[in-house]
Amino acid sequence: MTTRTADRDRLGRDPGRPVYVISVAAELVRVHPRTLRIYEYEGLVCPARTPSNIRLYSENDVRRVLWIRHLTQRLGVNLAG
């Protein structure tokens, strides 16, 4: 298996490719878009930007936010440290 193939999911999609605008990403992870902006400000997620400065989230970004939600809501981890 090549590295390029390993970087794709079962359907051939690249999970690192930024595709979701903030409203869609927020809906996928069930948070307010402002929460995603806060996570970005805190350095927890780093979405790509279009030339017009629109945030684009990848599948990897979405998974990271889901993990952050799990840590904070289920395990009680505080984002402040």
**Cα–Cα distance, 68 to 11 (Å, whole number):** 26
Q: What is the pLDDT of residues 3-55, one digit of tens each?
A: 444 566 666 789 999 999 999 999 999 999 999 999 999 999 999 999 999 99
**Does residue 79 belong to any structural domain of this protein?**
no
For residue 2, the model assigns a pLDDT of 45
Tokens of 50: 């279009």
pLDDT score for 7 = 63
**Number of domains into which the chain is organized:** 1
> What pLDDT score does 11 carry?
61
The tokens describing 16, both together, are 């690192």
Between CA 21 and CA 55 the distance in angstroms is 6
Tell whether 7 is covered by a domain. Answer: no
pLDDT band for position 1 (cuts 50, 70, 90) = very low
Domain membership flag for residue 81:
no
CATH number of 65's domain: 1.10.1660.10
